[in-house]
Amino acid sequence: MFNTLFLKPVRSMPAKVSMNVDGLDMDNIPQHVAIIMDGNGRWAKARGKIRTQGHKVGAETLKTIVRAADTLGIKAITAYAFSTENWKRPVTEVHFIMELLSRYLTSEIEEFKENNVQVRFMGSREGLPDIVTEKMDHAIEETKNDTGIILNLAINYGGQAEILHAVKSIAQQVADGTLKVEDIDAPVFENNLYSKGLPAPDLLIRTGGDLRVSNFLLWQIAYSEIWTTQVFWPDFTPDMLVEAIKMYQKRERRFGGLVQK
C-alpha cells in the first residue's frame, strides 16, 4: 500500500490532496522551494484552448501544490507568477493574468487564513494596476500573523531588476551616511533584496521542459538544487513535487566545500 497523506477538505480548494510519500525522508524536507511555473500556454494549445486557459488552470495547480507543500512540511514556496519580461506578451494576455491575480487574491484569502498561509510578494510595484497592488496589500495585511507555510508570489519580478534595486538602496544608505562601504557584506545585501527575511531556496523546480533560470532569483539560487520536468505546469501534481524532493534528498549539498565524512 502507498503511504499516503490526506489533507482536510477546504472550501473552494481541491477537496483533498493525496500523494505517495513512500521512500521520502520526512526529516530532510527542503525548507524553501522556488517554482518556475512554465508551460501554461503550451498546455492550453495542446488541448485546442486559448493560452489564458492554461494560466487559469495553472492558478488552480498552484493552490494544490501549496497545500501539498504545507502537508510535507515545506516552510515557504516562491512562485514565479509574472516576470518583468512578461509585459512583452500580447496586451490581452497581460490583462488576463492581472485579472487572474486580482481574483485569486480575493477568492483565496479566506482559505489562506483558514490554512494559516502567510502571503508575501516580491517584485516591483511599478506598472502594476492599482487593483492588483491593493489586493496585494490586503493579502499581506490579512495573513501577516499566519504562522504556517509562506506563499511568496513573484509578481513583476526580475532577478536583475532586484539586484539593481538592492544596489541603489545600498548606495543611497551610503550616501545618507547610514551605512559604511566596508560594512557591505552578503547579509547586508540580502537585507536589501525583495526576499528579505526568507532563507535561500533549497530546491528550484522548473516545469515545461526548458533548462534555464529565466531571470528568477539570481542571487538566491546560488546553491539551490535544480529539478526540471517536461510536464507543463497545469499538469504538475503533488506526486511530482514528492519526486522532486526525492531527487533533492539524493543530492549531496556541499555549498562549495568538501564532502563531510
Catalytic residues: 38, 86
CA dihedral 20→25→27→29, nearest 10 degrees, is -70
CB of 90 vs ligand FPP, minimal distance in Å = 11
Q: Is residue 2 helix, strand or coil?
A: coil
| 85 annotated ligand binder | yes
CB atoms under 10 Å from CB of 153, counted, come to: 22
Indicate the residue among 157 and 233 with the shorter CB distance to ligand FPP.
233
Report how far apart, in Å, the C-alpha atoms of 87 and of each of 83, 96, 148, 152, 193 are: 8, 12, 32, 20, 22
CA distance 192 to 162: 9
Q: What is the largest CA-CA distance in the chain?
A: 64
Give contact residues for ligand FPP (rule: CB under 6 A). Answer: 37-42, 55, 58-59, 62, 81, 86, 97, 100-101, 104, 153, 208, 233
What span, in angstroms and rounded, lies between the C-alpha atoms of 4 and 22?
A: 8
Confirm or deny that 125 is annotated as ligand binding.
no
Query: Between 2 and 87, whose beta carbon lies closer to ligand FPP?
Result: 87
- Whether residue 11 is annotated as binding a ligand: the answer is no
Closest to ligand FPP by CB, 91 vs 186, is: 91
- The residue (of 49 and 75) whose beta carbon lies closer to ligand FPP is 49
Output 49 or 246, the one with its CB closest to ligand FPP: 49
Let me know: does 188 contact 114? Beta carbons within 8 Å: no
Minimum distance between the CB of residue 87 and ligand FPP, rounded to whole angstroms?
A: 11
Separation between Cα atoms, residue 76 and residue 148, nearest integer Å: 9
Phi, psi dihedral angles at 61 (to 5 degrees): -60, -40
Shortest reach from residue 122's CB to ligand FPP, in Å: 13
Check: CB of residue 209 under 8 Å from CB of residue 229.
yes
83 annotated to bind ligand: yes
Least Å from the CB of residue 169 to ligand FPP: 27
3-state secondary structure of 137: helix
212 is in an annotated binding site: yes
- Provide the residue type at 31 as one letter: Q
Taking CB positions, which residue lies at the least distance from ligand FPP? 41
Compute the least distance from the CB of residue 227 to ligand FPP, in Å.
17
C-alpha cell at 232: 507543463
User: Is 257 assigned a ligand-binding role in the annotation?
Assistant: no
Binding-site residue numbers for Mg(2+) are 38, 225
Give binding residues for substrate as ranges: 39-43, 51, 55, 83-85, 87, 89, 206, 212-214
Annotated binding site: 38-43, 51, 55, 83-85, 87, 89, 206, 212-214, 225
